[in-house]
Amino acid sequence: MRSDLKNQEPHQTSMESDASRIDGQKFKELVVAGMTWLKTNHANVNALNVFPVPDGDTGTNMLLTMQAAFDEIATSGENNIGKIVHDVAQGALIGARGNSGVILSQLWRGFARGLDSLDTMDVSLMANALDEASKTAYKGVVRPVEGTILTVAKDTAAKVKEVAPNVKSLKELLEIAVEAADASVQYTPELLPILKKAGVVDSGGKGYFFILEGMLRYLNNQSLETAEFTVQPLSTMELDDAMDTIEPGQDYEVVIDFKPTQMFNLESYYTLLSEIGTSIQVGEGDGMYRMHIHVPLENRYKPIDCTMDLGTIQKVYIENLIAQMEDEKNASSANKKLNLAPIEPGEIAVVTISPGAGISRIFASLGVAAITEGGQTMNPSTKDILNAFENLPTDKVIILPNNKNIIMAAQSAAKITVKKVAVIPTTNIPQGLNAMLRLMPDGDFEKIVAEMEESLDEVDTGEITVATRSVEINGVHVNQGEVIALLNGKLVDSSDNLLDSCLQLLKIAETDDKERITLFYGDNISKNEVNKIVDEIRLQYPSHEIELHEGDQPHYQFIIAIE
């Protein structure tokens, strides 16, 4: 992480522990601390996913939003705290990813409003700023849901505002804020039954807690690089680096699957690993542990040595991260070669979000003007979406997010441009493709938008993936690792094989009464298996029009449009 706090274990803060007032540069230190502690624990936040699908990216989205916020002030020498926080809010807004990132950016926006252009911040002003942060975030959500990050921010603000008149130092106020945030997070399952049933707390609220706790830990000279010793489910481990760039000293990624001895001590293992590298994660499932770490070149074999003494190694994976980044850049360049529709001034341009190269090619064939990569676990930022259309030679733009967790970022992009932009709330790929069939580039903007919105209910969407956790939702009991089927975002079936899940999904969708089945297969299934499943579907539905397309989407073996 590009910060002055990197590798300070323990560090020496330049802030006095009893400080009652700070300026912009002192607050900058707190921003870095909150971001660093969130980075250290973002995998734990990701693991708090309620639904058993591979979209546990709340921690990553909040982290990338915080990174964008910090980048805005990284080289700033501004002492005016109001101006510094305003820049933080601006960076968070542009870099916001996912719903959690957008809400976090709204919290920063409100915090900046509370400080305006004030030179310094004292206890009373911080309490007021936290209160304004909560109020602004609530206003930014059309239908606020209690038991989320909104509730945690509100409860925290209410507590600090209550005690502020009797508090003398900012550190003491942060202690109270962290305690209040923790209590609120722990109570979220009582407000959202789905959290309670899944046995988790709200992930966004937990991320907000880590940001506040990181600031407090910095003031207490505590480590910001050693994560809480929470072992996440093996299947929910996020093995991709959260940052867009590889940090110095992170030349290689090492992943080790092993069965530990009875004497295995997780905390000691973490300590050993922290002396070798960074981005440490440990997952557990059925007695098997998976360790993930980033290390410099000279340490690439050390994780194997220290793990070998603790148990039996089953599998080792070593990846050159620098080479991996180059491959991703080359793939990105290949995507730019898509034959996108040319746009004339005054015409309607459509920007769409696509999770795979195959799906991108289909969107291109339907006339989209720009495509941004994104989907499950890879939500584009507000800036990514804005950049996709800002330079198009027209002021009429339609955005198809195609994912529920991208809609808010798309709406944020629409608010910060002078162009006329409409966001069609598509939550999946079939809805986006169906909306594209209504496009007439030279048509009436409002009419086309209305027709696209009406088209969303004309297609049912099925999704086939593998469960990342064991849970019971909507009366369907799911075991981690089973194949699951979702219909219009609702969990409807769980089985032990792809074919059964596909057929059960089509049955529940009442496909007998429909005419067309279109399947988009992912990058995690062989063409041979795809053909076997599609052949069986043709036998079951001989009178239906059935199409098969290479989607190349990650995580989901099939995305199915039923019309």
Q: Tokens 């799906």: give the residue.
A: 359
pLDDT at 255 (0 to 100): 82
Q: What's the confidence (pLDDT) of residue 9?
A: 41
The backbone region for 122, taken as left when phi is positive above 0, alpha when psi lies in -120 to 50, beta otherwise, is: beta
Residues in Cβ contact with 14 at an 8 Å cutoff, skipping those fewer than 6 apart:
26, 29
Extract the tokens encoding 82: 């109001």
| pLDDT in 10s for each residue of the chain, 563 residues | 334 444 334 455 666 667 889 999 999 999 999 999 999 888 888 888 777 776 668 888 899 999 999 999 999 999 999 999 999 999 999 999 988 999 999 999 999 999 998 999 999 999 999 999 999 999 988 788 899 999 999 999 999 999 999 999 999 999 999 999 999 999 999 998 888 877 889 999 999 999 999 999 999 999 887 665 454 444 444 444 333 344 445 678 888 888 888 778 887 888 888 888 877 777 766 677 878 788 888 888 888 888 888 888 888 878 776 665 555 455 444 445 678 888 999 999 999 999 999 999 999 999 999 999 988 778 899 999 999 998 899 999 999 999 999 999 999 999 989 999 999 999 999 999 999 999 999 999 999 999 999 999 999 999 999 988 788 888 888 888 899 999 999 999 999 999 999 999 999 999 999 999 999 999 989 999 999 999 999 999 999 999 999 999 988 999 999 99
DSSP string, 165-226: GG---HHHHHHHHHHHHHHHHHHHHHH-HHHHHHT---HHHHHHHHHHHHHHHHHTT--SSS
Which residue in 482, 536, 537, 530 sits closest to 512, CA to CA?
A: 537
Nearest-angstrom CA–CA distance, 154 and 160: 10
HEC per residue, 87-114? HHHHHHHHHCEHHHHHHHHHHHHHHHHH
Close Cβ partners of 337 (under 8 Å, ≥ 6 residues apart)? none
CA distances from 338 to 291, 333, 365, 410, 552 (A): 38, 10, 9, 22, 15
- Backbone φ and ψ of 62, nearest 5°: -65, -40
d(CA 260, CA 268): 13
Residue 413, H or E segment: helix 407-415
Reduced to 3 states (helix: H, G, I; strand: E, B; else coil), residue 269 is helix
Q: What is the pTM of this model?
A: 0.77
Is 276 within 8 Å of 249 (Cβ atoms)?
no
Structure token digits, residue 346: 């005054």
User: What pLDDT is attached to residue 472?
Assistant: 83
Structure tokens, 532: 């076997």
Q: Which two tokens stand for residue 39?
A: 């980075």
Under a CB-based contact definition with an 8 Å cutoff, are residues 54 and 555 in contact?
yes
Per-residue model confidence as pLDDT tens digits over 318-350: 877 666 555 545 544 444 567 888 899 999 999
Distance between CA 77 and CA 520 in Å, rounded?
A: 51
Amino acid occupying residue 537? I
Omega of the bond prior to 10 within 30 degrees of 0, cis?
Answer: yes
Residue 47 phi, psi (nearest 5): -70, -15
**419 alpha-carbon distance from chain centroid:** 27
* Packing angle, helices 24-46 and 203-219, rounded to 10: 140
Give the burial string for 460-483 (b: 16+ CB within 10 Å, else e): bbbbbbbbbbbbebeeeebebbbb
Q: How many CB atoms lie within 10 A of CB 136?
A: 20
pLDDT at 224: 87
**What is the per-residue pLDDT across 210-252, written as a single tens digit (0 to 9) for each?**
999 999 999 999 988 766 545 444 444 444 433 334 444 567 8
pLDDT tens digits along 435-449: 999 999 999 999 999
Q: Which domains does the chain have, with CATH numbers?
A: 21-228 (1.25.40.340), 235-325 (3.30.70.980), 338-458 (3.40.50.510), 461-562 (3.30.1180)
| Cα 203–Cα 112–Cα 225 angle in degrees, nearest 5 | 45
Question: How do residues 255-279 score in pLDDT, each as one tens digit?
Answer: 888 888 877 888 788 888 888 887 7
pLDDT value of position 291: 81
Query: How many Å apart are CA 424 and CA 410, to the nearest integer?
Result: 9
Which secondary-structure segment (H or E) carries 81? helix 81-95
Say how far apart CA 355 and CA 353 lie, in whole Å.
Answer: 7
Q: So what's the pLDDT on residue 459?
A: 95
Query: Which pLDDT value is given to residue 517?
Result: 96
User: Do 65 and 45 touch, CB atoms closer than 8 A?
Assistant: no
